[in-house]
Homo-oligomer: A and B are copies of this chain.
Amino acid sequence: MTAYKRHIDNTAISDLTVARLSVYLRCMDRLLELGIETISSQALADRFNLNSAQIRKDLAYFGEFGVRGVGYNVRELRQYVVEILGLDRERRLIIVGAGNLGTALCHYSGFSGGNFLVVGILDSDPSRIGDPTPAGLLVEDAARLGEIVTQRQVEIGVITTPASAAQSISEKMAEAGLKVILNFAPIRVRADEGVLVKTVDLGVHLEELSFHLTHV
């Protein structure tokens, strides 16, 4: 029924589009939970407080979706978003920084669940090495980063160290061959060409709530 013309032009895809694809994926999961198999972009927008023109534009980057007048096949669209996001295979993570945040992420369902798997948590503090985590992993020596990345086929590095250590750890991750890094340390990290460092700033969520407190 639905014809997908796949012509992905990466240069045209912004980070915001990719973030929205993650949102669409969650919407598709919810629709399938509710037994909804077909949906128009307008109904999708109305149900999840999204923008229908934006939905059509985002999905148009990736080819031609949906049947005019009928809408998207939810199951097929979900599968396609999964493929676009590269979620159809296991992605292994290591976390460097075994403090509270690193330990929390180690057993967070979004980090070890679905296709993601935390395969190591490292720290440079000798007093922490060998400590058990709630996820069942033992804290390992950050000096073994390169070896662990290679042996365990790690693709994603997560930094949960204090700000002062983040730059040095990201460089060590890049040396170990990691191409993508998620940085939770509250500092801008410089990266070499070919390495993507995404810094997560949890404060943006509070700013959004602050907006609502002010205006709603």
CB distance from A166 to the nearest CB of B (A): 13
Please report which residues of chain A, range 1-53, place their CB below 8 angstroms from some CB of chain B when the two chains form the complex: 8, 10, 13-16, 18-23, 25-26, 49, 51
User: How distant is the Cα of A16 from the Cα of B19 in the complex, in angstroms?
Assistant: 10
Query: Is A168 an interface position by the 8 A CB rule?
Result: no
Among B87, B113, B203, point to the contact of A111 (Cβ < 8 A). Answer: B203
Residue of A22, A99, A103, A111 most packed against chain B (CB within 10 A): A22
User: How distant is the Cα of A181 from the Cα of B6 in the complex, in angstroms?
Assistant: 40
Q: Which residues of B are found within 8 Å of A204, using beta-carbon distances?
A: 19, 22-23, 110
User: How distant is the Cα of A103 from the Cα of B103 in the complex, in angstroms?
Assistant: 11
Instruction: Check if B84 sits within 8 Å of A211, measured CB to CB.
Output: yes
Instruction: Check if B91 sits within 8 Å of A201, measured CB to CB.
Output: no
**Other 15 A-B pairs with CB < 8 A, given A13-B215, A111-B206, A156-B213:** A8-B215, A14-B51, A21-B207, A84-B211, A101-B101, A108-B202, A110-B201, A111-B202, A155-B213, A156-B209, A179-B212, A180-B209, A180-B213, A182-B206, A198-B208
- Chain A residues packing against B (C-beta within 8 Å): 8, 10, 13-16, 18-23, 25-26, 49, 51, 84-87, 91, 93, 99-101, 103-105, 108-111, 113-116, 134, 155-156, 179-180, 182, 186, 196, 198, 200-216
User: Lowest 6 CB-CB distances: which A-B pairs, in order?
Assistant: A110-B203, A86-B214, A100-B104, A101-B104, A22-B204, A180-B209
